[in-house]
Structure 1
Amino acid sequence: MKTLKTLLTATCLLIGILPASAQGINFEHDFNKALDLAKKENKMIFVDFYTSWCGPCKLMSAEVFPQKEAGDYFNREFINLKVQCDDKGAGVELGKKYKINAYPTLAFLDKDGNTVHSTAGGLSVAGLIELAKTATDPNKNQLAMVKEWEGGNRDHAFASRYFRTLTRSYRSEKANADFEKYFGTLKPSQKAAKNTFELMGIVKTGPFSPSFEYMEQHTGDFYKSVGQAKIDSTIANAYLGYFKGLQAAGFSNRDMTEFNSKMKLFKAKKYPFYDEYAEFYAVFDSKGVNGKDDINVYMQRGTEFLRKYGKKNDSYTLSLASMLGNWTGKKDQGLEGIRWMEELLQRNNNPRYLNTYFYILWRNFHFDKAMEVAQLMKANAVKENSSTADIDKQIQMVKDLKEKYKNI
């Protein structure tokens, strides 16, 4: 039989092991239990909506939630809950219920399970605590803003803040619904006003929506308040982004019905840039003589398209190179993508483009060059006082791949 001294020694050793992992935020994993605790302790619920594949989610779990400062604050103020939105069970249903569209989504619920405040994306410990303070402030949180909006406050400064808050937390569905309803109440002179156009930009009203259609039908009024160049570029870029989303969804679901039907409507509008956009999207539908997707046809079409239109819009190169990176996965299989990115960087050495360059490099097994680019990305992050944890992991990933494929 174990002696009391032995048990105490074992207990002390266990306690000595626990603080590193137990000092952070203590999470529940059952929604109903969290609700019961919230009612019993009269607390709000902090929810980390995450997925198994989300990089920022893993970073938060590994480096933010375990911090003592985070644990001291959140364990005292909230009932904390983790919900995995790709668990094929209750987590998926909760994600649908709360309309979670980005990960991580960090949400605060009242004790009855109603959303009080939320945001999407990773945060530092300080940022997380600041978010929690906003969530618990009845004068600042999203619920208060929604009540104020529904109460009739249409001051432009408040409207800007309201719609920014919704879009930043990926509540775009509500933002668009509220804006379109608001837009419908305006007089013609107000609809074409510069302030209204600014709100359209915040909400990102897209093609075929009532407000966007109105702008297309009354461009002359908007030219006077905003300027022709701005309106024309807004319309053109909106269609490009809109069809990118439809095309990506169609390829993912193997159903291009909606994309094709909307392209017909787009063609009927007779914009001068229709042929350019149609040619761009045709690159993604690159099939060989056997009727199957062919990477070589894709690269040939991509090069021809960029030769004609690449200098007009950097996003063409970024989109085509990213897709090629997804497609390739062998040594030198997608070399054209590397060339596309190097030509773009020579023309516009934008640090934000390095992510795509890094991706296409390592996907072609150009590991040494990829690590050079990753070091540049890391240096830029340091200059911006941003975390380098994710970049460090990518560097280690490339090192591991280099070792794995060293004989290829």
Structure 2
Amino acid sequence: MKKVLIVMAMAVMAICLSGNADAQNRSVEFEHSSWKKVLKKAKKENKLIFVDCYTSWCGPCRMMAKDVFTQDHVADYFNSNFVNFKIDMEKGEGPDLKPGWKINAYPTFLVINTKGEVIHRVVGAYGADEFIGYIKEAQSEDKNFAALNKAYDAGQRDGEFMFSHLRSLRLANLEKEEARKAKKYIAELKKEDLLKKENWNIIKYFMKDPATDEFRFMVKNRDQFAEVVGEDEIDSKIYNTYSKQIEAYSYFYPGKGRTYDKEGFDALIKDLQNSNFSRASELIAIALKNEYSRLNDWNMYAYVVDAALDLAVLKQYDSELRYFDSAASMIAKASKDKEMLQRALRWASYAAEKETRSEHKSGYLATKAKLLELVGKADEAKSTMMASEKEDKAAEAAGTKIISVPMMKLGGMKPAKKK
């Protein structure tokens, strides 16, 4: 019996040891001494310095420390290639070093040479392999942040280089510099050069303003661009650029000297009306719905939503049903006019009837029930609300129920802030 127990115990131990064989047990070894001593150590070992600039309140900083810097392959890479230094930018030497290092968000990761010069910077939290890839660029004589800046200042401007340079500025969270240089480069290209494949990644990732001659040229010559990069690529770029600008107008709030750019909004609508883009009507319907809501002009708001439904301009829009449901819900809150409420009821009915997913259908039926109540159809409102509750239970049983969580502080975490 004893022999059996011993064998079993050894087997369990073997399983436990086997299970731990792949366990992560190494982490990045950070120096916590003074910056002067770290620099001296780097010179002695002839290594670059990797600096983790963090704050105690930064959630993404803690995520990197807990989930990335504790992975074996991450630890092995950083420990063998760098002298690693971790510093709280709000304590000790942090406030004194911050201006020279130009820290504007957290976490910021720097690579510094033995002369104390910042040669590379990456801002934000990333997965392990992606992060290592970004930091490896610091070890390249022509791909690190400082080298790309130097080449730009020397006049290098080919498409491949500019993409690398603009990408490095984005990784460094230097949004204004990125936007300025991208806009300048694109504006200085000849129109025929916009069609060259070497410039496509710059257009795709860094052309953001639809109110430029270059963007308008792209829309006008959509078919030629499609021959170079493919229909899906060009259509996605056109749609997303317009959509993000519409979103910016939608979420605009006055303050700090800002005023609403009504002239810019009107120009955007005019461009869409004059374009041959296949989804222009859809974008106009979305933009005008937002605009008339901002102006509290419910008559025009209803006119736009009615037209979107009657003309089926949103048939390609992923959020078509949510568009009509949100419009109906808005009228339910904003108007007491029976005719207006009846129009909104039509939108709500359309969304509820077309939706097949219980987790969404439940909400759409609830909107419809509210409007039925407001127009005086109590019995129908009650039965519709019961249908909503039935769909809600179906979603819960399927594990797809949408649960709204109120905004709150979790563990004292704050969002990364800019200074």
Alpha carbons of structure 1 residues 319 and 194: separation in structure 2 relative to 1, 3 Å: farther
Identity of aligned residues (%): 23
Deviation at 1:277, TM superposition (A): 0.4
RMSD: 5.6
Contact 1:23 1:68 in 2 (8 A): yes
Contact 1:306 1:317 in 2 (8 A): no
Runs (5+) with no aligned partner, structure 1 = 1-19, 289-299, 323-338, 350-364, 375-393, 398-408
Deviation at 1:241, TM superposition (A): 0.6
Runs (5+) with no aligned partner, structure 2 = 1-22, 274-282, 327-349, 361-391, 409-419
Deviation at 1:231, TM superposition (A): 6.3
Deviation at 1:24, TM superposition (A): 2.8
What secondary structure is seen at the aligned counterpart in 1 of 2:203?
A: helix
Deviation at 1:172, TM superposition (A): 3.6
TM-score, structure 2 normalization? 0.52
Aligned counterparts of 1:53 and 1:346: Cα–Cα separation in 2: 40
Contact 1:246 1:259 in 2 (8 A): no
Match of 2:84 among 37, 59, 79: 79
Contact 2:25 2:70 in 1 (8 A): yes
Runs of at least 4 residues off by over 6 Å: 227-233, 284-288, 303-309, 315-322, 339-345
Contact 1:48 1:106 in 2 (8 A): yes
Deviations 1:174-232 (A, max 9, x none): 33322333334433432455544542212133244xxx334326854565445798767
Alpha carbons of structure 1 residues 134 and 343: separation in structure 2 relative to 1, 3 Å: farther
Aligned counterparts of 2:175 and 2:85: Cα–Cα separation in 1: 25
Tell me which residue corresponds to 1:276: 286
Aligned counterparts of 1:340 and 1:256: Cα–Cα separation in 2: 39
Tell me which residue corresponds to 1:64: 68
The aligned runs of 1:5-404 (5 Å cut-off) are 24-27=27-30, 33-34=34-35, 37-39=38-40, 41-42=42-43, 43-50=47-54, 55-67=59-71, 70-71=74-75, 73-75=77-79, 77-83=82-88, 94=98, 98=102, 100=104, 104-111=107-114, 114-191=117-194, 193=196, 195-208=198-211, 212-216=212-216, 220=220, 224-226=224-226, 234-245=237-248, 247-248=250-251, 250-251=252-253, 255=255, 258=258, 260-261=260-261, 263-269=262-268, 270=270, 271-272=272-273, 273-274=283-284, 276-280=286-290, 311-314=315-318, 369=396, 372=399
Aligned counterparts of 1:277 and 1:256: Cα–Cα separation in 2: 24
Deviation at 1:267, TM superposition (A): 0.4
Matched to 1:314, the amino acid is D
What secondary structure is seen at the aligned counterpart in 1 of 2:86?
A: strand
Tell me which residue corresponds to 2:382: none
Aligned counterparts of 1:306 and 1:137: Cα–Cα separation in 2: 53
Aligned counterparts of 1:78 and 1:232: Cα–Cα separation in 2: 47
What secondary structure is seen at the aligned counterpart in 2 of 1:314?
A: coil
Matched to 1:64, the amino acid is V
Aligned counterparts of 1:104 and 1:321: Cα–Cα separation in 2: 40
Contact 1:45 1:111 in 2 (8 A): yes
What secondary structure is seen at the aligned counterpart in 2 of 1:62?
A: helix
Contact 1:50 1:82 in 2 (8 A): yes
What secondary structure is seen at the aligned counterpart in 1 of 2:28?
A: coil
Aligned counterparts of 2:354 and 2:240: Cα–Cα separation in 1: 22
